[in-house]
Amino acid sequence: MSSLAVEKREPQARSVIVNEESLTVDLMDGRTIIVPLVWYPRLWHRTSEERNHLEIFGDGTYIHWPELDEELTVAGLLAGLPSGESPQSLTTWMEARGQKNHESM
């Protein structure tokens, strides 16, 4: 009897597109993830320019927005995990940036 070893690889981002409604990540294996931007309030409440200033690192396993202090994992996106940030934390962050929280979520 033989066994087949399966190599488990972390999903890796090839490219990221952020628009007013969604975050779209093309993966190295050919899949595409599309998630609602409202899941990530720090992205949702910022400008298009700020949302599009991002970095892909960790061999494509992380997406980072340095100006917004936001970091997502590709594995978390695939698992359907929205932001775990509390409303109080978001409010504090927005106030520090001089923005009022007018959530319509």
Instruction: Answer whether residue 83 is part of any domain.
Output: yes
Would you list the DSSP string of 74-95?
HHHHHTT------HHHHHHHHH
**Domain containing 62: what range?**
13-96
The pTM for the full model equals 0.84
CATH number at residue 60: 3.30.2020.40
Q: What is the pLDDT of residue 8?
A: 77
What domain count does the chain have? 1
Instruction: Answer whether residue 71 is part of any domain.
Output: yes
Instruction: Answer whether residue 65 is part of any domain.
Output: yes
pLDDT in tens, 6-47: 777 899 999 999 999 999 999 999 999 999 999 999 999 999
Within 8 A by CB and 6+ apart from 93, the residues are: 42, 69
Instruction: Answer whether residue 64 is part of any domain.
Output: yes
Instruction: Answer whether residue 5 is part of any domain.
Output: no
